[in-house]
Structure 1
Amino acid sequence: MGSTAKKAVILVSGGLDSTTVLAMAKKQGYACYTLSFDYGQRHRAELNAAHRVSGAYADVEHKVVSLNLDSIGGSALTDTDIDVPEGETDGIPITYVPARNTVFLSIALGWAEVLGAQDIFIGVNAVDYSGYPDCRPEFIAAFEATANLATKVGVEGERITIHTPLIDMTKGEIINTGLELRVDYSQTVSCYQATDDGLACGRCDSCRLRRQGFLDAGVADPTRYQ
């Protein structure tokens, strides 16, 4: 990567979507600074996966920021007393983590400003929409407006852009895009309740969406299941 490459902060969870976004940003020629969060989630497997995929795509730096979102709880992903649902649910699911993407994007924005990066990538998706309010285009547009009001770089006339390249894609389309970019999806972890070594449950919402995506893409599912 040459020194003239534009810098971008890529939010990387270790899952299928964010790994695809990282590959897309690299293909576009960005110098990729990847950002993950140890926020009190149920398992370490996704952080291990985030480290793996960041290394695989030759990022400039991979940063893990610690947050104690489990201290406020309110989600099956941060409170072990709340079971992860294994059947379909109506409305906003209990796996929604209150304000998570708002918090994550805010820290990404701070790092971007320090780096002199004007581009932030996040793998939110509104087609295979799971009911999360912070995955909608309206939220991203509102956050981008806030980002440009709240920062020194925005006030001085530069523009921060929040990129959501997956926002209108189906899971099958995301997988096919990633495969064209040689993404190894066996290295990713999407499961809400994976084991410490990354084995997926095959039953949660995230596992079901992921499995259907591989079916729709017409390719073998490389996920390692329990």
Structure 2
Amino acid sequence: MAKESIERAVVLLSGGLDSATVLAMARDQGFECHTLSVDYGQRHRSELEASRRLSESLGARSHRVVSVDLRAIGGSALTDDIDVPTEMGEGIPVTYVPARNTLMLALALGHAEVQAARHLFIGVNAVDYSGYPDCRPQFIAAFEDLCSLATKAGDEGQRFEIHTPLIHLSKAEIIRQGTALGVNYADTISCYQADEQGRACGVCDSCRLRKAGFEDAGIKDPTRYV
């Protein structure tokens, strides 16, 4: 249902399947969307160009890219000289990027305060995910509390809300909802090691989850593979 008055929202947009769906959902709910992508030194940098295209095609009012080089910290297969795994392992995988969602939400919060937006959207998921601790509902709830304590707007009594519309959905459910909202998933890049043309490897953890999602949804996978 569309909102009675237009409210602004900052939507974290990686260029992947999940965040594109979140943008479509936020737009469908009547928000004026301002997308934010983070260039953190990730090896799958073609997703940044995908985020720009998606922001435009899905009707965002503005799009911004913020650069923070997490390669200086490393510790992840996405930001360090560590091979991206092609087999499922136990525990938190090496594709986990330390403090990534904390950093991204902090940047989105700052952008929201400047934009006079009180809504933040992020595509975290606690069902079909890779075991990342910063995708859990407890983390989102804790960060939402932080928003009120760490901002001028919060100190003045305004409340920020973090929207996580995918958090309890399976990948197939996400794909079905996004398809119904007009998301062109051929424009999205989910692969952890996509090449410069945006072609997916087909074997990393993210590619496997994406492939299975399209299969379970009964929708043809439009991903371009190497």
Counterpart in the other structure of 1:221:
221
**In the TM superposition, what are the counterparts of 1:50-65 in structure 2 within 5 Å?**
50-65=51-66
Q: Please list the CA deviations of residues 26-69 of structure 1 after superposition, one character each: whole Å capped at 9, or x if unmatched.
A: 00111100000111000321001101100101211100000010
1:175 to 2:209 alignment: no
Q: Structure 1 residues 4-13 or 202-211, which shifts more? A: 4-13
Runs of at least 5 residues in structure 2 that lack an aligned partner in the other structure: none
Deviation at 1:137, TM superposition (A): 0.2
Q: Please list the CA deviations of residues 116-153 of structure 1 after superposition, one character each: whole Å capped at 9, or x if unmatched.
A: 00000000000013110000000000000011111111
Counterpart in the other structure of 2:160:
160
Letter in 1 for 2:44: H
Counterpart CA distance in 1 for 2:68 and 2:156 is: 30
Counterpart CA distance in 2 for 1:195 and 1:145 is: 38
SS of residue in 1 equivalent to 2:59: coil
**In the TM superposition, what are the counterparts of 1:2-13 in structure 2 within 5 Å?**
5-13=6-14
8 Å contact from structure 2 (residues 58, 183) kept in 1: no
Counterpart CA distance in 1 for 2:162 and 2:75 is: 27
**In the TM superposition, what are the counterparts of 1:22-61 in structure 2 within 5 Å?**
22-61=23-62
Counterpart CA distance in 2 for 1:207 and 1:117 is: 33
Q: Structure 1 residues 145-154 or 198-207, which shifts more? A: 145-154
Runs of at least 5 residues in structure 1 that lack an aligned partner in the other structure: none
Counterpart in the other structure of 1:76:
77
Alignment RMSD: 0.7
Q: Could you state the TM-score of these two structures normalised by the residue count of structure 1?
A: 0.97
SS of residue in 2 equivalent to 1:162: strand
**In the TM superposition, what are the counterparts of 1:2-151 in structure 2 within 5 Å?**
5-79=6-80, 81-151=81-151
SS of residue in 2 equivalent to 1:17: helix
Deviation at 1:155, TM superposition (A): 1.3
Counterpart CA distance in 2 for 1:37 and 1:103 is: 9
Counterpart CA distance in 2 for 1:73 and 1:199 is: 24
Q: What is the percent sequence identity of the aligned residues? A: 64
8 Å contact from structure 2 (residues 10, 36) kept in 1: yes
Q: Please list the CA deviations of residues 132-189 of structure 1 after superposition, one character each: whole Å capped at 9, or x if unmatched.
A: 0000000000000011111111111110000000000000000000010011000000
Counterpart CA distance in 1 for 2:44 and 2:18 is: 18
Aligned length: 222
8 Å contact from structure 2 (residues 200, 225) kept in 1: yes
In the TM superposition, structure 1's runs of 4+ consecutive aligned residues that sit over 4 Å from their partners are none
SS of residue in 2 equivalent to 1:211: helix
Letter in 2 for 1:34: T
SS of residue in 1 equivalent to 2:174: helix
Counterpart CA distance in 2 for 1:164 and 1:104 is: 14
Deviation at 1:97, TM superposition (A): 0.3
Q: Please list the CA deviations of residues 176-209 of structure 1 after superposition, one character each: whole Å capped at 9, or x if unmatched.
A: 0001001100000000000001000000000000
